[in-house]
Structure 1
Amino acid sequence: MATRATQNPLGRGVEWEFERLLISRDFSRNVVTRLLVERAEHGGWELDRVRIAPDGTRRVILRRRIIRQRLTSPV
């Protein structure tokens, strides 16, 4: 699983973190759905892309927004 951060050229200051998953064809559609729902609910991930290879493996790319804290000046 690789993770990288990129900026969206259309949205100012919006940064996304991406995670790539390779899921074997041995997992049923229901199992994959449950796995992705768990990651969405507990990790804040959303589905960016799914590609199904001719051999049945799924290449999934998940993304989540990176929220940066802003420094505030002391009063």
Structure 2
Amino acid sequence: MWEYDKVTFSREFSRNIVTKLLVERAEHGGWELDRVRITADGTRRVTLRRKIIRQRLTV
């Protein structure tokens, strides 16, 4: 199973800044890039995902 997170960046953010922010989330939160959509006005809508790790109870 996957957990999803949607992030929106306005057009004022440069490509380098967006890349740095996404890399930071990937390194510290375990997120990976699922989808990027760039709208007509230049807004970036990014979908991130990460695996849900379920722990089993040990008795």
Same structural fold, with TM-score higher than 0.5 when normalized by the shorter chain: yes
Normalised by the length of structure 2, the TM-score is: 0.96
Cα distance in structure 2, aligned partners of 1:63 and 1:52: 18
- Identity among equivalent positions (%) equals 75
RCO higher in structure (CA 8 A, sep ≥6): 2
Normalised by the length of structure 1, the TM-score is: 0.76
Q: 2:58 matched to which residue of 1?
A: 72
- Larger helix percent: 2
Residue 55 of structure 2 aligns to a residue whose secondary structure is coil
Aligned 1:1-75 pairs, distance under 5 A: 15-73=1-59
Whichever of the two has the greater Rg, that structure is 1
Residue 42 of structure 1 aligns to a residue whose secondary structure is helix
Deviations 1:11-67 (A, max 9, x none): xxxx11100011000000000000000000000000000000010000000000010
Unmatched runs of 5 consecutive residues or more in structure 1: 1-14
- Paired residues in the alignment total 59
Unmatched runs of 5 consecutive residues or more in structure 2: none
Cα distance in structure 2, aligned partners of 1:72 and 1:32: 42
Structure 1: 4+ residue segments shifted above 2 A: none
